Structure 1
Amino acid sequence: MPAPVIAVVEDEPLLRRDLVEYLRDCGFDAVGAKNGRELGDLLATRTVRVVLLDVNLPGDDGFALAARLRDHPAIGVIMVTARSSTIDRVVGLEIGADAYLVKPVEMREVEAQVKSLLRRLDGIPAAAPAAADSAPADEPRWTLDATEWTLTSPGGVTMSLTSTEMKLMSLLAELARQPATRDQISMAVHSRRWNPEDRSIDTVVGRLRHKMESALGDSTPLKSVHGVGYVFSATVRVV
């Protein structure tokens, strides 16, 4: 039987190398990735069983990646991060991480968590490599105009956006129907990390949703994702 594939997503080269080498010595087929894009490449070509995931990554952070991985119940997620606050732990576990380890971490603890998680996953068939997500050619698309700051529905209804709303929609369009964490939204909209006591993100989203519902006379693809943030569930073309 082939060794389980363990993906180590860590942007610090030395730590990534040490984790990969240690896990290989433990008999696993460990492979490294420095960001979400490289993890996506791995998922498209390998049958990954467990992902070790840092939080502070370039591009999509570990919370956003963990939320996406919940679409693959056969893949276990272990957060390995320096972010040790209770809030970060709660967010990580609510998003769907199976375990949350704080750096500096003992390699033996990592090994024990991986083995424990693999035992729990034993009854779940391994998922085939995931194909790249792409919308069908005939799927209705929204259009986001980065010059005019407008959002147009598939039915041709055009809405003018404020600067803040444009930043929000640009992020959601870039994530292509994947949820954005409140931390990602706060960085995109306010250029600062998210403070759980700050409700400004919910206010921005609420105003945009109300604007869209008033213009369309119907519900919108702008949805909340419990414990994560928000997602635009339709395809958006940026022009």
Structure 2
Amino acid sequence: MAAPAIVVVEDENSLRSDMVEYLRNCGFEAMGARTGAELDELLTNRPASVIILDVNLPDEDGFKIAARLRDTHGVGIIMVTARSSSVDRIVGLEIGADAYLIKPVELRELEAQVKSLLRRLSERAAEAPSALAPSSELSGGESNDEGRWTLDSTEWALTSPTGVRIGLTSMEMKLTGLLAGQARKPATRDQISQALYSRRWNPEDRSIDTVVGRLRHKVEASIGAAAPLKSVHGVGYVFSAPIRVLGGQVG
């Protein structure tokens, strides 16, 4: 079995070399990159399991790289930075980073974080097919509507399987329409931002979470149960129940 591939993205040469050498001695296939561009080049040739990412890089902000990786690669991300601010740490974790280490980095702690993250990624991969796989109701052909939600794009309403009708705002309609079209697969934050605001997602912008939170609260208050609107760590959101759209495409 091949060793997990780890990429250390750090512009400080000595620190990058130390981390790469240490991780190789731990049995990992470790590689180094100085910039975001070098990271992209590495990933085109060799998929990685974990990215160890410095926040302050010469060509691209580490937070932006982390957000981009979450949209395009299913990797674990460990942020490494000299910034000790809780705000920076929270931003990193909200973007989808799995861990956040402060320099100077203790190499044994880094090793422990990498091993712990690899275990979580393995567990997450094992759970994903059953949690997100489309049901037979969504795979085409005749289907039974029992247990299915309905989104009416002409009436701007979401109806629960028990018949509870919930009126939606314009933003809530766009969000639900996007998630309905994903066939119970998660939509990334960037996809949601494009659908709602016609712009790329900004990691510091909490407007998506506000819309999601408002919709979730409205649904739960109406049906008296948990809404099938779930957060997928490091990715975005998913409507986890079967849903059909009436009245044509939402947009």
Give the alignment of 1:102-117 within 5 angstroms.
102-117=102-117
Paired residue secondary structure (1:80): strand
Q: Distance in 2 between matches of 1:13 and 1:226?
A: 28
**What percent of counterpart residues are identical?**
60
Task: Tell me the equivalent position of 2:93.
Answer: 93
- 1:69 to partner: Cα distance: 1.1
- 1:43 to partner: Cα distance: 1.0
Q: Does 1:28 align with 2:28?
A: yes
Q: Is the 8 A contact 2:8 2:51 kept in 1?
A: yes
Q: Distance in 2 between matches of 1:18 and 1:226?
A: 30
Matched to 1:221, the amino acid is S
Q: Distance in 2 between matches of 1:67 and 1:117?
A: 18
Give the alignment of 1:198-237 within 5 angstroms.
221-225=198-202, 227=204
Q: Is the 8 A contact 1:54 1:81 kept in 2?
A: yes
- 1:224 to partner: Cα distance: 4.6
Q: Distance in 1 between matches of 2:18 and 2:32?
A: 10
Which of 1 and 2 has greater Rg? 2
Q: Distance in 1 between matches of 2:71 and 2:59?
A: 20
- 1:222 to partner: Cα distance: 2.8
Instruction: Give structure 2 stretches of 5+ with no counterpart.
Output: 126-188, 191-195, 208-251
Query: Aligned pair in 2 of structure 1 residues 29, 228: CA closer, same or farther (>3 Å)?
Result: farther
Q: Does 1:76 align with 2:53?
A: no
- 1:78 to partner: Cα distance: 0.1
Q: How big is each residue's C-alpha offset from its partner over 1:153-198, in whole Å with a ceiling of 9 and x where there is no partner?
A: xxxxxxxxxxxxxxxxxxxxxxxxx97xxxxxxxxxxxxxxxxxxx
Paired residue secondary structure (1:70): helix
Q: Distance in 2 between matches of 1:83 and 1:37?
A: 23
Higher helix share: 2
Paired residue secondary structure (1:122): helix
Instruction: Give structure 1 stretches of 5+ with no counterpart.
Output: 126-177, 180-218, 231-239
Q: Is the 8 A contact 2:50 2:76 kept in 1?
A: yes
RMSD: 2.5
Q: Is the 8 A contact 2:64 2:203 kept in 1?
A: no
Q: Distance in 2 between matches of 1:107 and 1:20?
A: 10
Matched to 2:75, the amino acid is I
Q: How big is each residue's C-alpha offset from its partner over 1:38-79, in whole Å with a ceiling of 9 and x where there is no partner?
A: 000111110200000000001111100000111246300000
Matched to 1:39, the amino acid is L
| TM-score with structure 1 setting the length | 0.54
Q: Distance in 2 between matches of 1:114 and 1:223?
A: 30
